[in-house]
Amino acid sequence: MKRILSVAMLLMLSLVLCAQEKDVTKFLGIPVDGSKAEMIRKLKAKGFMYDFKTDLLSGEFNGRKVKLSVVTNNDKVWRIMVQDDVYVNERSIQIRFNDLCRQFENNTKYMSINEEQTLSDEEDISYEIAAHKKRYEAVFYQKPATDFAEIIKEIVQSLAYKYNEEELANPTEEIKSEITELYFKDYISKKSVWFMISDYLGEYKILMYYDNGHNCANGEDL
């Protein structure tokens, strides 16, 4: 009986370790995954304070006072939202937006599929938002933990049902395009980190989102 229990415990531990090793978006080194209670506990260990009344955590992130929201889907965390604690004027938010873009661009943990996301000095943010409902946002992606060559190898192997060995060894532009699409869809797009400008009565703040695309709603409850 003890041996059966030991085997069962080892299997459970194995499942837990597999879940922890899943390649998902991370916030401050914490996987954006698991239960909300567990995430709040880990964020408190990082120094954030939790307010039961507002269901928000407060603390410092990237040199700013912020508030955090832990968002779930089917009892699994899929998003951490980070919002500035205070609003600022138009010029300040433009500088802050561009500074964030450069910080992400210079961080080797991230990649982007957009060439230029900073705002020009001539951009009239208040007018564009008021007159054209323009949305100012920048999108980046955390790079996969797996080596790029290994990922491409996995993708090529997954296409073996569709193409023969020679075609995969000397791929056409069409096959290369398919490999690129699968790389983005399965290994990049689900680890997005993006931010936007939020406005209120002529003042602005940054909202930042760390999303785990594996856990977000995909219409399964419809």
pLDDT tens for 132-155 read: 999 999 999 999 988 889 999 999
Beta-bridge partner residues of 62? none
d(CA 148, CA 41): 33
pLDDT in tens, 17-50: 444 457 999 999 999 999 999 999 999 999 999 9
d(CA 147, CA 56): 36
Contact 197, 97 (CB under 8 A): yes
Taking Cα atoms as reference points, which of 61, 74, 64, 65 lies closest to residue 27?
61
Taking Cα atoms as reference points, which of 78, 46, 74 lies closest to residue 61?
46
Beta-bridge partner residues of 72? 77
Q: What does the mean pLDDT of the chain come to?
A: 90
d(CA 123, CA 145): 37
115: how many CB neighbours lie within 10 A of its CB? 5
Sheet strands (E) in the chain:
26-27, 30-31, 49-51, 56-61, 64-73, 76-84, 110-111, 137-142, 192-200, 203-211
Q: pTM of the full predicted structure?
A: 0.86
Q: Which of residues 221 and 29 earns the better pLDDT score?
A: 29
d(CA 219, CA 197): 28
pLDDT band at 115 (very low <50, low <70, confident <90, very high): confident
Taking Cα atoms as reference points, which of 147, 79, 77, 140 lies closest to residue 114?
140
